[in-house]
Amino acid sequence: MKHLFKQGNKKWPTLLLLHGTGGDERDLMPLAEMIAPEASVLSVKGNVEENGMARFFARLREGVFDEEDLLFRTNELNQFIEESAKEYGFDRHNVVALGYSNGANIAASLMYHMKGALKGGILFHAMVPRRGVQLPDLSTVPVFIGAGKRDPLIPLGETKELVENLKEAGSHVTEFWTEGGHELRREEVDEAKHWFENNFI
C-alpha cells in the first residue's frame, strides 16, 4: 500500500493515519502533528478508487458499504500494519488509528473484526462499519469519537449506534460533538489531543 512513515518517539504509540474519501497519504500528516507531534506516523493511502478518488473500501452507494470488500480491505490493512511494523521497527501492539470519514470507518472495522489490531482509535465522523457482528473484547482499547450534530452524511443515530457497539465490547469511549456538519473542526482536534495525552502519554 502506498504510504509514508515518520519515525518518532518509540515510547509513544505509532499513529496510523487513514484519510477520508479523495485523500491521500499526506492528508492527515498536519493533523498528527497537532495531536501527537512526537509520535511515529504510518500514513496510508487507500487502495480502492471511486470516480478517481482514493478510498479504503468500496461502497454500493452513499452510506451503503460493500461488506465483502470491506472485510477484504480490513484484512489487507491489518496485514500491511504487520509488515510495516517489521520493516520500520515499531511495536505492532502499540498502534493508535487516527481516521477521518472513510478512514475512520475502516479503523472501526479493524476494531470490529480484529482483536488486538489497535491499541486505541481517534475516529472523526465515523459510521457503523458492519452490523450483526460479535465484536472482540475492547476493554483495553479506548476510543475518541468526534462528530457533527448536523452532519448531512452521517445521521446522529448512526454515530450513537457506533458508540454503543464499542461500549458493549468494553471500550471506554469519549464522545465529542460539535454543532457542525461533516467537516473537521478545530475544537474536535483539540479535544482529541487532550484525549491522546490522557490515555497514552
Task: For the chain, give the longest Cα–Cα distance.
Answer: 42
- Which residues of the chain, if any, have pLDDT below 50? none
Q: Is the pTM here over 0.75, yes or no?
A: yes
CATH of residue 50's domain is: 3.40.50.1820
CA-CA-CA-CA torsion sign (31, 141, 175, 112): positive
Active site amino acids: 101, 151, 182
Cβ burial, residue 32 (10 Å; 0-12/13-18/19+): buried
Nearest to 15 by CA among 31, 24, 1: 31
Q: Give the count of domains, the chain.
A: 1
pLDDT value at residue 74: 97
* pLDDT tens-digit series, residues 9-46: 999 999 999 999 999 999 999 999 999 999 999 999 99
Gap between the Cα atoms of 16 and 107, Å rounded: 9
In the block, residue with C-alpha cell 465522523:
125
AA identity, residue 112? Y
pLDDT value at residue 163: 98
Mean pLDDT of the chain: 96
Domain range for 193 is 3-200
pLDDT value at residue 63: 75
